[in-house]
Structure 1
Amino acid sequence: MPLTNPDNANNLDFTPGGTIASNKIQSAILEAAAEALQKANNLSDLANALAAWGNLGADQSLAANSGWIKLPNGLILQWKTHTAASQSFTGGTPYTFTITFPIAFNTAYHVVGCLQGGSNNSANGVQFESLSTTGCTARIIMATTNTTVAIFRVIAIGI
């Protein structure tokens, strides 16, 4: 026999299998489902925003030593650290190193910048040759004869 509340004029059924308990369980299930659906919609909105950014032509690959950003207008910014193995450099002699960018430009890039690094690095200067959509050649001349690691930090901007 269902439990009844003497103060309850309708004699509602509060037993575990009764109407009130069943309605409470159903309400809790619907509430949990609505919350899960909202979370799924939020994730979907985030995925849609990222897709929209990509549809505008934007993309990126960010890393410390090598990466790129493509803006919606097509401008691409790239950077790369190129490390040549330690070797003996003769002062006054030119040395060349091939630099390959993380992604290819559609057309030749407009600007290239470079810093040299490494121990005992006494490069007089760096110049770039053989510019292409996928990379370039860095050419250095050391001021003095020494053994060192040649490190180039290259920045390229193009479309």
Structure 2
Amino acid sequence: MNAVPVQENTAGSDSDSNPDDAPEYYQRISAVEDVEDEDRSDPDGQANSDEEHHNDSYRNRYRHQLENGISSLHLSEDVAEEEEERMRMASDLAIQRAFREDESRRNASLTPENAARVREAMRGISFSGFAPHWANQVPEDQWIDQLRRLRRPQRTTNTVQN
């Protein structure tokens, strides 16, 4: 057997290291512990500097792409906001135009044919005993006269009514 004799440290040091094996340069304890921690974190138990460099380059490239992506997002976001504003204004204009058209239709006078159709349709309608509070204050014949006056074209103020 090729056994190596074990040397006893008789110098009285509490250290397990052999003074002959000491490194030729000064090595901080924290630096040594950091290297050991990195070695322990490697699943194979070995540090692979090429792999670490490769991972770092991926991280840097990802960060660079992320920064570029954010910049492009900001640019497209501005365009999207402008497009939304244009759409909102177009929608508001369309709504305003629809309200104006609706109001003009409501204010337009009925043609004689349409007025007759409305009167015929309303003849068959009954409120089943429900009448507005003012309905009894105006006699029915006055309502009919008022409706007839509204239906007639307005005359000039020079003509005298009998």
Same fold (TM over 0.5): no
Task: Judging by fraction of residues, say which structure has more strand.
Answer: 1
TM-score after normalising by structure 1 = 0.30
Higher relative contact order (Cα pairs below 8 Å, separated by 6+ residues): 1
Q: Which structure is larger by alpha-carbon Rg, 1 or 2?
A: 2
TM-score after normalising by structure 2 = 0.29
